[in-house]
Chain A
């Protein structure tokens, strides 16, 4: 048993080993370059300095992460709910789908988060709403396009089979279309979760409250505190990673699910 576990640990190490070695050597090389070429801190901060700043400012980075992450989470949830709801309406009324889907796809392809500048004008300067609306919009279109595809692109054999059972449209929706759309929803979430963090984060560059990760990065750079700015970037990376990881865990938990 113990041997088995040991084998499993070794197998796991083999899997992640190369990535680990690459990451560590990259940081070592970076550190060496900064020291060896005597790069100035305003040009490039050394990883050791960045980690030092990260742990020194840990609680502030955490707070800022909570603000940006909170905005991302609210937008992610609201956008998903609206996106799913709208995809049901579109799959029911196909002509609406033909009207809206091209628009949704086009909006997906352009950086619509620049809209946040306009949204900022609509609300007071101390409001988080513009950022949350922005995240909602981004997530909404990603979820809408994918889930609508899952609801409509069902196999013709399945539909014929259900019709041979004299199943109503509602039953076909419940037994075929919805289960078919579940993997599409999780694919959408895997894309939307990191996108929500990025959007929440970039939205902060367009003014408004100065309490999130994005605004902290700009203010630290403005004050020539380069290593501190990098520490916040690290925080932002970890936040995005956390969102992505949760979306993957959610997906694998429901992979075979829905047996009813």
Chain B
């Protein structure tokens, strides 16, 4: 039983027109329950598109996506996943607590149950004293933690994250990575995580999926063997650097292919 299965999925925008974009071609990916998988690759490799196919915010042109052994569409209707974006995307007119309650409100939970869960989630992200503040009164890192609390409020088995720490400074970012691992460990949530950062992908993941552009596809999947308990020491471990090198080389491959192809064609293509 898999948490998520993408089988032969392709996504082509503006098919049959001059503006046709092959965003994803024949992508196969299986993610096991409790696994943390990162998608990494240069801009335009389709990693965000793949995430949106899984979230059913986009329909694949061909192939299939199943989440929790249901179709992606059914999984979305059942709120089987939570989602977090680069922008925290909190609602300025709602208090922190009410922001976390939003997905529960849409599920029709009653007020007492919602408030109890929001309180529990605030404890989880270690911001219990901020319940009645408004998002704009919080720092960027705090806002992003609230967004994670909101994404996990309904206890979905799957968490989809699109560069959630991309807008944070390096120190906040490393702190947030540790927090994310702790939270997902405590809730045994499966995570698919889109990022631009190699150390981030390696530190967080059990597997790093390397993608390449034009057409968007998976070129390599790298297993990261750093054990299940990771902490700040992990960042100095030999295995950490070894994995970073492996991912970097895989990524360089995607660029080298590209450069070679350009040299042959003799065109500049950015």
Chain A residues engaging chain B, CB cutoff 8 angstroms: 155, 157-158, 160-161, 163-167, 171, 175-176, 179-180, 182, 256-259
Inter-subunit contact A161/B85 (CB<8 Å): yes
Q: A164-B57, A167-B106, A171-B106 are in contact. Are A256 and B87 (CB under 8 A)?
A: no
Inter-subunit contact A176/B106 (CB<8 Å): no
Q: A163-B57, A166-B77, A166-B79 are in contact. Are A157 and B87 (CB under 8 A)?
A: yes
When distances are taken between beta carbons in the complex, the residues of chain B under 8 Å from A166 are 76-77, 79, 106
C-alpha gap A155/B82 in the complex (Å): 18
Q: List 20 A-B contacts (CB under 8 A).
A: A155-B87, A155-B89, A157-B87, A158-B89, A160-B57, A160-B85, A164-B76, A164-B82, A164-B83, A165-B106, A166-B76, A166-B79, A166-B106, A167-B106, A171-B106, A175-B106, A256-B93, A256-B134, A257-B93, A259-B98
Chain B residues engaging chain A, CB cutoff 8 angstroms: 55, 57, 76-77, 79, 81-83, 85, 87, 89, 91, 93-95, 98, 102-103, 105-106, 134
C-alpha gap A194/B183 in the complex (Å): 53
Q: A166-B77, A175-B102 are in contact. Are A161 and B93 (CB under 8 A)?
A: no
When distances are taken between beta carbons in the complex, the residues of chain A under 8 Å from B87 are 155, 157
When distances are taken between beta carbons in the complex, the residues of chain B under 8 Å from A182 are 93
10 shortest interchain CB distances as A-B pairs? A157-B89, A164-B83, A179-B93, A166-B77, A157-B87, A165-B106, A157-B85, A166-B76, A258-B93, A161-B89
Within the complex, what minimum Cβ distance (angstroms) separates A181 from chain B? 11
Interface of A (DSSP majority class): helix
The number of A-B residue pairs with CB atoms under 8 Å apart is: 46
When distances are taken between beta carbons in the complex, the residues of chain B under 8 Å from A258 are 93
When distances are taken between beta carbons in the complex, the residues of chain A under 8 Å from B93 are 179-180, 182, 256-259
With A155-B89, A166-B106 given, can you name 8 additional A-B contacts, CB distance below 8 Å?
A158-B89, A158-B91, A165-B79, A165-B102, A171-B106, A175-B105, A175-B106, A259-B94
When distances are taken between beta carbons in the complex, the residues of chain A under 8 Å from B82 are 164
C-alpha gap A163/B85 in the complex (Å): 13
Of the candidates B55, B81, B91, the one whose C-beta lies within 8 Å of that of A176 is B91
C-alpha gap A164/B57 in the complex (Å): 7
When distances are taken between beta carbons in the complex, the residues of chain A under 8 Å from B55 are 164
C-alpha gap A163/B103 in the complex (Å): 11
Inter-subunit contact A164/B81 (CB<8 Å): yes
Inter-subunit contact B85/A165 (CB<8 Å): no
Look across to chain A and name the residue whose beta carbon is closest to the beta carbon of B104: A165
When distances are taken between beta carbons in the complex, the residues of chain A under 8 Å from B134 are 256
When distances are taken between beta carbons in the complex, the residues of chain B under 8 Å from A259 are 93-95, 98
C-alpha gap A157/B81 in the complex (Å): 16
When distances are taken between beta carbons in the complex, the residues of chain B under 8 Å from A158 are 89, 91
Within the complex, what minimum Cβ distance (angstroms) separates B158 from chain A? 11
When distances are taken between beta carbons in the complex, the residues of chain A under 8 Å from B105 are 175
C-alpha gap A74/B46 in the complex (Å): 56
Look across to chain A and name the residue whose beta carbon is closest to the beta carbon of B105: A175
C-alpha gap A166/B81 in the complex (Å): 11
Within the complex, what minimum Cβ distance (angstroms) separates A207 from chain B? 46
When distances are taken between beta carbons in the complex, the residues of chain B under 8 Å from A175 are 102, 105-106
Within the complex, what minimum Cβ distance (angstroms) separates B163 from chain A? 12
Q: Which of B77, B91, B94 has the most CB of A within 10 A?
A: B91
When distances are taken between beta carbons in the complex, the residues of chain A under 8 Å from B85 are 157, 160-161
Of the candidates B76, B83, B95, the one whose C-beta lies within 8 Å of that of A161 is B83
